[in-house]
Amino acid sequence: MAEKDVFAHEADIEKYKERGYNDDLLPKTKDRRNMNAKNYFTLWMGSVHNIPNYTAVGGFLFLGLSPINVILALIISSMAVAAFMVYNGRAGSKYGIPFAMHLRSTYGDLGAKLPGFLRGCVAAIAWFGLQNYAGSLALLILIGKIWPSFLTLGGDFNFFGLSLPGLIAFTIFWAANLLIGIGGGGALNKFTAILNPLIYVVFGGMAIWAIKVGGGIGPILAFTPSGADVQNNAPLFVYLIIITSVLSVWAAPGASVSDFTQNATSTRAQTIGQTASFLVAYIIFAFSSVAILIGGSIHYGVQEWNVLEIVEKWDSLPAICLAMLVFLLTTISTNATGNIIPAAYQLSALFPKTINYKKGVIIASVISYLIMPWKLMENANSIFAFLNIIGAVLGPVAGVMLAHFYFVKKQKIDLNALYMDTKADNSQNPYRGINKGAYVATIVALLVSISGQFIPALQVISSLSWLIGFGLAFILYLVLKKFIPEKV
Protein backbone atom coordinates (compact mmCIF):
# COMPACT_ATOMS: atom_id res chain seq x y z
CA MET A 1 0.00 0.00 0.00
CA ALA A 2 3.04 2.26 0.03
CA GLU A 3 2.85 3.24 -3.64
CA LYS A 4 1.04 6.47 -4.43
CA ASP A 5 -2.31 6.59 -6.18
CA VAL A 6 -2.38 7.63 -9.85
CA PHE A 7 -4.68 10.45 -10.91
CA ALA A 8 -5.55 10.88 -14.58
CA HIS A 9 -5.29 14.41 -15.98
CA GLU A 10 -7.98 16.22 -17.98
CA ALA A 11 -5.81 16.03 -21.10
CA ASP A 12 -5.74 12.25 -20.76
CA ILE A 13 -9.51 12.13 -20.27
CA GLU A 14 -10.11 14.14 -23.46
CA LYS A 15 -7.78 11.84 -25.36
CA TYR A 16 -9.61 8.75 -24.13
CA LYS A 17 -12.95 10.31 -25.05
CA GLU A 18 -11.71 10.83 -28.60
CA ARG A 19 -10.87 7.14 -28.68
CA GLY A 20 -14.56 6.31 -28.07
CA TYR A 21 -14.84 5.83 -24.29
CA ASN A 22 -17.84 7.28 -22.49
CA ASP A 23 -17.77 9.01 -19.10
CA ASP A 24 -18.69 5.86 -17.20
CA LEU A 25 -15.59 4.00 -18.41
CA LEU A 26 -13.07 6.80 -18.01
CA PRO A 27 -10.65 6.89 -15.06
CA LYS A 28 -11.80 9.25 -12.34
CA THR A 29 -9.75 12.44 -12.01
CA LYS A 30 -8.78 13.64 -8.54
CA ASP A 31 -11.61 16.18 -8.34
CA ARG A 32 -14.19 13.49 -9.16
CA ARG A 33 -13.07 11.08 -6.46
CA ASN A 34 -15.47 12.07 -3.70
CA MET A 35 -15.81 8.99 -1.47
CA ASN A 36 -13.89 9.19 1.79
CA ALA A 37 -13.45 6.68 4.62
CA LYS A 38 -16.80 7.69 6.15
CA ASN A 39 -18.61 7.03 2.86
CA TYR A 40 -17.09 3.56 2.63
CA PHE A 41 -17.90 2.91 6.27
CA THR A 42 -21.60 3.50 5.55
CA LEU A 43 -21.60 1.93 2.08
CA TRP A 44 -21.99 -1.74 3.02
CA MET A 45 -23.80 -1.45 6.37
CA GLY A 46 -27.25 -1.81 4.84
CA SER A 47 -26.19 -4.64 2.57
CA VAL A 48 -25.29 -6.85 5.54
CA HIS A 49 -28.67 -6.57 7.26
CA ASN A 50 -30.91 -8.06 4.61
CA ILE A 51 -33.56 -10.77 4.71
CA PRO A 52 -31.59 -13.57 2.93
CA ASN A 53 -28.63 -13.06 5.30
CA TYR A 54 -30.87 -13.54 8.34
CA THR A 55 -32.29 -16.70 6.77
CA ALA A 56 -28.76 -17.98 6.16
CA VAL A 57 -27.90 -17.59 9.85
CA GLY A 58 -30.86 -19.84 10.65
CA GLY A 59 -29.26 -22.46 8.41
CA PHE A 60 -25.87 -22.01 10.08
CA LEU A 61 -27.39 -22.82 13.47
CA PHE A 62 -28.36 -26.25 12.12
CA LEU A 63 -24.78 -27.14 11.16
CA GLY A 64 -23.89 -28.14 14.70
CA LEU A 65 -22.01 -25.14 16.09
CA SER A 66 -23.14 -23.44 19.29
CA PRO A 67 -24.67 -19.96 18.90
CA ILE A 68 -21.51 -18.28 20.25
CA ASN A 69 -19.41 -20.14 17.67
CA VAL A 70 -21.77 -19.07 14.89
CA ILE A 71 -21.29 -15.47 16.03
CA LEU A 72 -17.49 -15.87 16.05
CA ALA A 73 -17.53 -17.54 12.63
CA LEU A 74 -19.51 -14.62 11.19
CA ILE A 75 -17.07 -12.10 12.64
CA ILE A 76 -14.09 -14.01 11.20
CA SER A 77 -15.93 -14.14 7.88
CA SER A 78 -16.29 -10.36 7.94
CA MET A 79 -12.52 -10.02 8.17
CA ALA A 80 -12.09 -12.29 5.15
CA VAL A 81 -14.67 -10.29 3.17
CA ALA A 82 -13.06 -6.98 4.16
CA ALA A 83 -9.62 -8.20 3.01
CA PHE A 84 -11.11 -9.39 -0.30
CA MET A 85 -12.93 -6.10 -0.95
CA VAL A 86 -9.97 -3.91 0.05
CA TYR A 87 -7.34 -5.76 -1.96
CA ASN A 88 -9.45 -6.32 -5.06
CA GLY A 89 -10.53 -2.68 -4.82
CA ARG A 90 -6.92 -1.49 -4.92
CA ALA A 91 -6.81 -1.28 -8.74
CA GLY A 92 -9.89 0.96 -8.69
CA SER A 93 -8.67 3.29 -5.95
CA LYS A 94 -5.11 3.52 -7.27
CA TYR A 95 -5.97 4.25 -10.90
CA GLY A 96 -9.58 5.43 -10.70
CA ILE A 97 -10.80 2.75 -13.12
CA PRO A 98 -14.17 0.92 -13.02
CA PHE A 99 -14.60 -2.86 -12.91
CA ALA A 100 -14.96 -3.15 -16.69
CA MET A 101 -11.48 -1.69 -17.22
CA HIS A 102 -10.05 -3.58 -14.24
CA LEU A 103 -11.32 -6.75 -15.89
CA ARG A 104 -9.79 -5.71 -19.22
CA SER A 105 -6.41 -5.17 -17.53
CA THR A 106 -6.53 -8.83 -16.45
CA TYR A 107 -8.27 -10.72 -19.27
CA GLY A 108 -7.61 -8.44 -22.27
CA ASP A 109 -10.15 -6.34 -24.15
CA LEU A 110 -11.81 -9.34 -25.81
CA GLY A 111 -11.27 -11.69 -22.90
CA ALA A 112 -13.02 -9.34 -20.46
CA LYS A 113 -16.36 -9.57 -22.24
CA LEU A 114 -17.43 -13.03 -21.03
CA PRO A 115 -16.65 -12.70 -17.29
CA GLY A 116 -17.95 -9.11 -17.43
CA PHE A 117 -21.19 -10.24 -19.03
CA LEU A 118 -21.67 -13.07 -16.53
CA ARG A 119 -21.04 -10.79 -13.55
CA GLY A 120 -22.62 -7.56 -14.66
CA CYS A 121 -25.50 -8.72 -16.80
CA VAL A 122 -26.66 -12.29 -16.25
CA ALA A 123 -26.01 -12.63 -12.51
CA ALA A 124 -26.69 -9.00 -11.60
CA ILE A 125 -29.93 -8.62 -13.55
CA ALA A 126 -31.30 -11.99 -12.42
CA TRP A 127 -30.45 -11.27 -8.78
CA PHE A 128 -31.83 -7.73 -9.11
CA GLY A 129 -35.19 -9.16 -10.11
CA LEU A 130 -35.15 -11.83 -7.42
CA GLN A 131 -34.20 -9.33 -4.70
CA ASN A 132 -37.00 -7.05 -5.90
CA TYR A 133 -39.49 -9.89 -5.59
CA ALA A 134 -38.21 -10.89 -2.14
CA GLY A 135 -38.47 -7.26 -1.01
CA SER A 136 -41.96 -6.94 -2.47
CA LEU A 137 -43.13 -9.80 -0.22
CA ALA A 138 -42.04 -7.77 2.81
CA LEU A 139 -43.76 -4.71 1.35
CA LEU A 140 -46.92 -6.76 0.86
CA ILE A 141 -46.87 -7.72 4.55
CA LEU A 142 -46.31 -4.09 5.54
CA ILE A 143 -49.16 -2.75 3.39
CA GLY A 144 -51.41 -5.57 4.58
CA LYS A 145 -50.84 -4.61 8.22
CA ILE A 146 -51.70 -0.97 7.53
CA TRP A 147 -54.48 -1.61 5.00
CA PRO A 148 -55.82 -5.19 5.40
CA SER A 149 -58.36 -4.93 2.55
CA PHE A 150 -55.48 -4.22 0.15
CA LEU A 151 -54.69 -7.93 0.17
CA THR A 152 -58.08 -8.72 -1.41
CA LEU A 153 -57.89 -6.20 -4.25
CA GLY A 154 -58.51 -7.60 -7.71
CA GLY A 155 -60.23 -10.76 -6.56
CA ASP A 156 -59.08 -13.58 -8.86
CA PHE A 157 -56.89 -11.28 -10.97
CA ASN A 158 -53.79 -13.14 -12.07
CA PHE A 159 -50.79 -11.70 -13.90
CA PHE A 160 -48.70 -14.72 -14.89
CA GLY A 161 -49.09 -16.16 -11.39
CA LEU A 162 -49.04 -12.86 -9.46
CA SER A 163 -52.11 -11.41 -7.72
CA LEU A 164 -53.01 -7.75 -8.15
CA PRO A 165 -51.73 -6.78 -4.66
CA GLY A 166 -48.54 -8.73 -5.35
CA LEU A 167 -48.12 -7.04 -8.73
CA ILE A 168 -48.64 -3.58 -7.21
CA ALA A 169 -46.17 -4.27 -4.38
CA PHE A 170 -43.59 -5.62 -6.81
CA THR A 171 -43.95 -2.64 -9.16
CA ILE A 172 -43.66 -0.10 -6.33
CA PHE A 173 -40.58 -1.75 -4.90
CA TRP A 174 -39.05 -2.22 -8.36
CA ALA A 175 -39.56 1.50 -9.09
CA ALA A 176 -37.90 2.49 -5.81
CA ASN A 177 -34.86 0.38 -6.67
CA LEU A 178 -34.78 1.87 -10.16
CA LEU A 179 -34.71 5.43 -8.81
CA ILE A 180 -31.84 4.69 -6.40
CA GLY A 181 -29.98 3.01 -9.27
CA ILE A 182 -30.39 6.03 -11.55
CA GLY A 183 -29.05 8.25 -8.77
CA GLY A 184 -25.86 6.16 -8.73
CA GLY A 185 -23.18 6.46 -6.07
CA GLY A 186 -24.23 9.97 -5.00
CA ALA A 187 -27.80 8.91 -4.26
CA LEU A 188 -26.53 5.75 -2.60
CA ASN A 189 -24.28 7.75 -0.25
CA LYS A 190 -27.24 9.90 0.84
CA PHE A 191 -29.46 6.85 1.10
CA THR A 192 -27.04 4.93 3.33
CA ALA A 193 -26.44 8.01 5.50
CA ILE A 194 -30.15 7.92 6.39
CA LEU A 195 -30.38 4.14 6.59
CA ASN A 196 -27.47 3.35 8.90
CA PRO A 197 -28.75 5.13 12.03
CA LEU A 198 -32.05 3.29 11.53
CA ILE A 199 -30.15 -0.02 11.37
CA TYR A 200 -28.56 0.59 14.76
CA VAL A 201 -31.89 1.61 16.31
CA VAL A 202 -34.07 -1.13 14.80
CA PHE A 203 -31.79 -4.17 14.93
CA GLY A 204 -30.39 -3.11 18.29
CA GLY A 205 -33.94 -2.78 19.59
CA MET A 206 -34.93 -6.13 18.09
CA ALA A 207 -31.95 -7.82 19.75
CA ILE A 208 -32.84 -6.29 23.13
CA TRP A 209 -36.45 -7.44 22.70
CA ALA A 210 -35.31 -10.96 21.75
CA ILE A 211 -32.97 -11.25 24.75
CA LYS A 212 -35.77 -10.11 27.06
CA VAL A 213 -38.49 -12.44 25.74
CA GLY A 214 -35.99 -15.29 25.30
CA GLY A 215 -35.17 -15.32 29.00
CA GLY A 216 -31.80 -13.61 28.82
CA ILE A 217 -28.55 -14.05 26.95
CA GLY A 218 -27.78 -17.36 28.74
CA PRO A 219 -30.67 -19.40 27.30
CA ILE A 220 -30.06 -17.93 23.84
CA LEU A 221 -26.37 -18.89 23.78
CA ALA A 222 -27.20 -22.34 25.23
CA PHE A 223 -29.94 -23.01 22.66
CA THR A 224 -29.60 -25.99 20.33
CA PRO A 225 -32.11 -26.22 17.45
CA SER A 226 -33.90 -29.54 17.18
CA GLY A 227 -32.55 -31.33 14.14
CA ALA A 228 -29.12 -29.66 14.32
CA ASP A 229 -26.31 -31.88 13.01
CA VAL A 230 -24.13 -31.82 16.11
CA GLN A 231 -22.53 -35.22 15.53
CA ASN A 232 -21.40 -35.42 11.90
CA ASN A 233 -19.78 -32.04 11.22
CA ALA A 234 -16.35 -31.19 12.60
CA PRO A 235 -16.32 -27.65 14.10
CA LEU A 236 -13.42 -26.49 11.88
CA PHE A 237 -15.24 -27.72 8.76
CA VAL A 238 -18.40 -25.85 9.81
CA TYR A 239 -16.36 -22.70 10.35
CA LEU A 240 -15.02 -23.05 6.80
CA ILE A 241 -18.54 -23.62 5.45
CA ILE A 242 -19.79 -20.41 7.10
CA ILE A 243 -16.77 -18.40 5.92
CA THR A 244 -17.23 -19.72 2.38
CA SER A 245 -20.96 -18.96 2.44
CA VAL A 246 -20.38 -15.38 3.57
CA LEU A 247 -17.66 -14.89 0.95
CA SER A 248 -20.03 -16.29 -1.68
CA VAL A 249 -22.63 -13.67 -0.70
CA TRP A 250 -20.00 -11.00 -1.47
CA ALA A 251 -18.49 -12.76 -4.49
CA ALA A 252 -20.24 -10.54 -7.02
CA PRO A 253 -19.79 -7.15 -5.28
CA GLY A 254 -16.23 -8.18 -4.42
CA ALA A 255 -15.35 -8.98 -8.01
CA SER A 256 -16.69 -5.63 -9.24
CA VAL A 257 -15.70 -3.54 -6.22
CA SER A 258 -13.64 -1.23 -8.46
CA ASP A 259 -16.96 0.31 -9.54
CA PHE A 260 -17.02 1.79 -6.03
CA THR A 261 -13.34 2.19 -5.18
CA GLN A 262 -12.74 4.18 -8.39
CA ASN A 263 -14.39 7.06 -6.51
CA ALA A 264 -12.09 6.82 -3.47
CA THR A 265 -10.24 9.96 -2.45
CA SER A 266 -7.34 7.61 -1.70
CA THR A 267 -6.56 3.93 -1.31
CA ARG A 268 -6.11 4.57 2.40
CA ALA A 269 -9.69 5.92 2.59
CA GLN A 270 -11.26 2.84 1.02
CA THR A 271 -9.03 0.53 3.09
CA ILE A 272 -10.00 2.07 6.41
CA GLY A 273 -13.63 2.62 5.46
CA GLN A 274 -14.35 -0.82 4.06
CA THR A 275 -12.51 -2.67 6.82
CA ALA A 276 -14.38 -0.79 9.53
CA SER A 277 -17.66 -1.15 7.65
CA PHE A 278 -17.58 -4.93 7.42
CA LEU A 279 -16.18 -5.51 10.88
CA VAL A 280 -18.67 -3.25 12.68
CA ALA A 281 -21.61 -4.32 10.52
CA TYR A 282 -20.97 -8.03 11.02
CA ILE A 283 -20.37 -7.73 14.77
CA ILE A 284 -23.81 -6.11 15.04
CA PHE A 285 -25.35 -8.51 12.54
CA ALA A 286 -23.83 -11.66 14.07
CA PHE A 287 -25.10 -10.87 17.55
CA SER A 288 -28.49 -9.45 16.54
CA SER A 289 -29.34 -12.19 14.02
CA VAL A 290 -28.58 -15.03 16.44
CA ALA A 291 -30.37 -13.26 19.31
CA ILE A 292 -33.46 -12.37 17.26
CA LEU A 293 -33.89 -15.78 15.63
CA ILE A 294 -33.31 -17.81 18.80
CA GLY A 295 -35.03 -15.37 21.17
CA GLY A 296 -38.07 -15.23 18.88
CA SER A 297 -38.15 -19.03 18.61
CA ILE A 298 -38.01 -19.42 22.40
CA HIS A 299 -40.69 -16.77 22.91
CA TYR A 300 -43.18 -18.13 20.39
CA GLY A 301 -42.49 -21.76 21.23
CA VAL A 302 -41.71 -22.73 17.65
CA GLN A 303 -38.43 -22.75 15.73
CA GLU A 304 -38.79 -19.79 13.40
CA TRP A 305 -35.88 -18.95 11.12
CA ASN A 306 -37.66 -16.45 8.87
CA VAL A 307 -37.16 -13.08 10.53
CA LEU A 308 -40.13 -11.57 8.65
CA GLU A 309 -42.50 -14.10 10.24
CA ILE A 310 -41.13 -13.27 13.68
CA VAL A 311 -41.75 -9.57 13.08
CA GLU A 312 -45.22 -10.28 11.67
CA LYS A 313 -46.20 -11.92 15.00
CA TRP A 314 -45.53 -8.77 17.02
CA ASP A 315 -48.47 -7.00 18.69
CA SER A 316 -47.28 -3.44 18.00
CA LEU A 317 -48.20 -2.11 14.58
CA PRO A 318 -45.71 0.82 14.73
CA ALA A 319 -42.89 -1.59 15.62
CA ILE A 320 -43.85 -3.91 12.75
CA CYS A 321 -43.95 -0.99 10.31
CA LEU A 322 -40.57 0.37 11.39
CA ALA A 323 -38.85 -3.03 11.24
CA MET A 324 -40.36 -3.90 7.86
CA LEU A 325 -39.41 -0.47 6.51
CA VAL A 326 -35.78 -0.96 7.52
CA PHE A 327 -35.73 -4.44 5.95
CA LEU A 328 -37.07 -2.92 2.74
CA LEU A 329 -34.42 -0.19 2.80
CA THR A 330 -31.59 -2.66 3.42
CA THR A 331 -32.80 -4.74 0.47
CA ILE A 332 -32.71 -1.64 -1.73
CA SER A 333 -29.18 -0.90 -0.52
CA THR A 334 -28.10 -4.47 -1.30
CA ASN A 335 -29.72 -4.33 -4.72
CA ALA A 336 -28.05 -1.05 -5.63
CA THR A 337 -24.53 -1.97 -4.54
CA GLY A 338 -24.53 -5.59 -5.65
CA ASN A 339 -26.76 -5.67 -8.71
CA ILE A 340 -28.08 -2.64 -10.55
CA ILE A 341 -24.97 -0.43 -10.42
CA PRO A 342 -22.65 -3.23 -11.70
CA ALA A 343 -25.21 -4.21 -14.35
CA ALA A 344 -25.44 -0.62 -15.62
CA TYR A 345 -21.67 -0.24 -15.80
CA GLN A 346 -21.26 -3.52 -17.67
CA LEU A 347 -23.92 -2.64 -20.24
CA SER A 348 -22.10 0.65 -20.71
CA ALA A 349 -18.82 -1.23 -21.16
CA LEU A 350 -20.29 -3.66 -23.70
CA PHE A 351 -21.94 -0.88 -25.73
CA PRO A 352 -19.89 2.24 -24.90
CA LYS A 353 -21.08 4.31 -27.87
CA THR A 354 -24.81 3.82 -27.31
CA ILE A 355 -25.38 3.07 -23.61
CA ASN A 356 -24.31 5.25 -20.70
CA TYR A 357 -24.77 4.49 -17.01
CA LYS A 358 -28.35 5.78 -16.66
CA LYS A 359 -29.51 4.02 -19.82
CA GLY A 360 -27.87 0.89 -18.46
CA VAL A 361 -29.86 1.16 -15.23
CA ILE A 362 -33.13 1.52 -17.14
CA ILE A 363 -32.38 -1.34 -19.54
CA ALA A 364 -31.27 -3.68 -16.73
CA SER A 365 -34.31 -2.77 -14.64
CA VAL A 366 -36.76 -3.36 -17.50
CA ILE A 367 -35.17 -6.73 -18.27
CA SER A 368 -35.36 -7.69 -14.58
CA TYR A 369 -39.11 -6.98 -14.70
CA LEU A 370 -39.71 -8.80 -17.98
CA ILE A 371 -38.07 -12.04 -16.79
CA MET A 372 -40.86 -12.20 -14.15
CA PRO A 373 -38.70 -13.24 -11.18
CA TRP A 374 -41.73 -14.52 -9.29
CA LYS A 375 -41.99 -17.23 -11.97
CA LEU A 376 -38.32 -18.09 -11.52
CA MET A 377 -38.88 -18.51 -7.79
CA GLU A 378 -41.71 -20.97 -8.40
CA ASN A 379 -38.98 -23.52 -9.09
CA ALA A 380 -36.43 -22.61 -6.45
CA ASN A 381 -34.13 -25.57 -7.10
CA SER A 382 -33.52 -24.81 -10.77
CA ILE A 383 -33.13 -21.04 -10.44
CA PHE A 384 -30.78 -21.23 -7.48
CA ALA A 385 -28.74 -23.98 -9.14
CA PHE A 386 -28.37 -21.64 -12.12
CA LEU A 387 -27.41 -18.66 -9.98
CA ASN A 388 -25.00 -20.76 -7.92
CA ILE A 389 -23.19 -21.76 -11.10
CA ILE A 390 -23.02 -18.12 -12.21
CA GLY A 391 -21.75 -17.16 -8.77
CA ALA A 392 -19.23 -20.00 -8.73
CA VAL A 393 -17.35 -18.47 -11.67
CA LEU A 394 -16.74 -15.32 -9.67
CA GLY A 395 -14.46 -17.03 -7.15
CA PRO A 396 -12.03 -18.09 -9.90
CA VAL A 397 -12.38 -14.69 -11.60
CA ALA A 398 -11.44 -12.92 -8.36
CA GLY A 399 -8.54 -15.30 -7.83
CA VAL A 400 -7.13 -14.56 -11.29
CA MET A 401 -7.67 -10.79 -10.91
CA LEU A 402 -5.76 -10.63 -7.63
CA ALA A 403 -2.95 -12.91 -8.81
CA HIS A 404 -2.53 -10.85 -11.97
CA PHE A 405 -2.60 -7.41 -10.34
CA TYR A 406 -0.35 -8.15 -7.37
CA PHE A 407 2.02 -10.92 -8.48
CA VAL A 408 2.21 -10.69 -12.26
CA LYS A 409 1.98 -6.93 -12.85
CA LYS A 410 3.13 -5.77 -9.40
CA GLN A 411 0.19 -3.29 -9.24
CA LYS A 412 1.23 -1.61 -12.52
CA ILE A 413 -1.38 -0.62 -15.12
CA ASP A 414 -0.56 1.42 -18.23
CA LEU A 415 -3.66 3.60 -18.58
CA ASN A 416 -2.72 4.90 -22.02
CA ALA A 417 -2.45 1.34 -23.35
CA LEU A 418 -5.53 0.17 -21.42
CA TYR A 419 -7.65 2.89 -23.03
CA MET A 420 -6.51 1.88 -26.51
CA ASP A 421 -7.67 3.56 -29.70
CA THR A 422 -9.97 0.94 -31.20
CA LYS A 423 -9.47 2.41 -34.69
CA ALA A 424 -5.67 2.08 -34.56
CA ASP A 425 -3.42 -0.95 -35.00
CA ASN A 426 -3.32 -2.48 -31.52
CA SER A 427 -1.63 -5.75 -32.42
CA GLN A 428 1.22 -4.96 -30.02
CA ASN A 429 -0.95 -3.48 -27.29
CA PRO A 430 -0.46 -5.52 -24.08
CA TYR A 431 -4.19 -5.39 -23.31
CA ARG A 432 -5.35 -6.48 -26.76
CA GLY A 433 -7.08 -9.84 -27.25
CA ILE A 434 -7.43 -12.62 -24.69
CA ASN A 435 -5.20 -13.54 -21.79
CA LYS A 436 -5.16 -17.30 -22.41
CA GLY A 437 -3.60 -18.14 -19.07
CA ALA A 438 -6.36 -16.26 -17.25
CA TYR A 439 -9.04 -18.10 -19.22
CA VAL A 440 -7.53 -21.55 -18.63
CA ALA A 441 -7.12 -20.92 -14.90
CA THR A 442 -10.66 -19.55 -14.60
CA ILE A 443 -12.32 -22.42 -16.49
CA VAL A 444 -10.38 -25.21 -14.77
CA ALA A 445 -11.06 -23.73 -11.32
CA LEU A 446 -14.72 -23.23 -12.20
CA LEU A 447 -15.15 -26.85 -13.28
CA VAL A 448 -13.51 -28.09 -10.10
CA SER A 449 -15.50 -25.75 -7.83
CA ILE A 450 -18.87 -26.84 -9.26
CA SER A 451 -17.98 -30.54 -9.61
CA GLY A 452 -19.50 -31.33 -6.24
CA GLN A 453 -22.94 -30.37 -7.52
CA PHE A 454 -22.83 -33.20 -10.05
CA ILE A 455 -20.50 -35.81 -8.50
CA PRO A 456 -21.74 -37.07 -5.10
CA ALA A 457 -18.26 -38.21 -4.03
CA LEU A 458 -17.03 -34.61 -4.40
CA GLN A 459 -19.94 -33.02 -2.57
CA VAL A 460 -17.58 -31.57 0.03
CA ILE A 461 -16.18 -29.30 -2.69
CA SER A 462 -19.60 -27.66 -3.11
CA SER A 463 -19.58 -26.66 0.55
CA LEU A 464 -16.28 -24.82 0.02
CA SER A 465 -16.74 -23.89 -3.64
CA TRP A 466 -15.76 -20.21 -3.46
CA LEU A 467 -12.60 -20.85 -1.44
CA ILE A 468 -11.57 -23.77 -3.64
CA GLY A 469 -12.34 -21.94 -6.89
CA PHE A 470 -10.55 -18.79 -5.75
CA GLY A 471 -7.48 -20.58 -4.40
CA LEU A 472 -7.12 -22.97 -7.33
CA ALA A 473 -7.47 -20.20 -9.93
CA PHE A 474 -4.98 -18.02 -8.06
CA ILE A 475 -2.29 -20.73 -7.92
CA LEU A 476 -2.96 -22.18 -11.36
CA TYR A 477 -2.75 -18.79 -13.03
CA LEU A 478 0.61 -18.02 -11.49
CA VAL A 479 1.91 -21.42 -12.63
CA LEU A 480 0.56 -20.95 -16.16
CA LYS A 481 2.16 -17.51 -16.51
CA LYS A 482 5.54 -19.22 -16.26
CA PHE A 483 4.79 -21.42 -19.28
CA ILE A 484 2.32 -19.45 -21.43
CA PRO A 485 3.81 -16.24 -22.83
CA GLU A 486 1.24 -13.46 -22.72
CA LYS A 487 1.21 -9.80 -23.59
CA VAL A 488 -1.19 -8.92 -20.81
pLDDT of residue 329 exceeding 80, the answer is yes
**Tens digits of per-residue pLDDT, 41-56?**
988 887 888 777 887 8
> Long-range contacts: 409-416, Cβ < 8 Å, 24+?
409/105, 411/3, 411/90, 411/91, 411/94, 413/91, 413/94, 413/95, 413/97, 413/105, 415/6, 415/8, 415/12, 415/27, 415/95, 415/97, 416/12
Q: Enumerate the β-bridge partners of residue 84.
A: none
Which has the closest alpha carbon to 360: 34, 25, 17, 108?
25
Contact indicator for 478, 403 with CB cutoff of 8 Å: yes
**Tens digits of per-residue pLDDT, 274-321?**
999 999 999 999 999 999 999 999 999 888 778 888 998 999 999 999
Which pLDDT does position 392 carry in this prediction? 77
Which pLDDT does position 54 carry in this prediction? 85
Question: What value does the mean pLDDT of the chain take?
Answer: 88
Q: Could you tell me which residues come within 8 angstroms of residue 216 by beta carbon, excluding any fewer than 6 positions away?
A: none
pLDDT of residue 109 exceeding 60, the answer is yes
At 383, is the pLDDT very low, low, confident or very high (cuts 50, 70, 90)? Answer: low
| Region of poorest pLDDT, from 232-236, 325-329, 426-430 | 232-236
Domain ranges in the chain? 10-483
CA distance linking residue 311 with residue 60, whole number of Å: 20
At 80, is the pLDDT very low, low, confident or very high (cuts 50, 70, 90)? Answer: very high
| Region of poorest pLDDT, from 94-103, 359-368, 385-394 | 385-394
Q: 468: how many CB neighbours lie within 10 A of its CB? A: 24
CA distance linking residue 405 with residue 459, whole number of Å: 32
Q: What is the mean pLDDT of residues 106-119?
A: 89
The yes/no answer on whether domain 10-483 falls in CATH 1.10.4160.10 is: yes
pLDDT of residue 271 exceeding 90, the answer is yes
Which pLDDT does position 1 carry in this prediction? 45
Q: What is the mean pLDDT of residues 117-143?
A: 85
Which pLDDT does position 283 carry in this prediction? 95
Query: Would you mind telling me the total number of residues written for the chain in this entry?
Result: 488
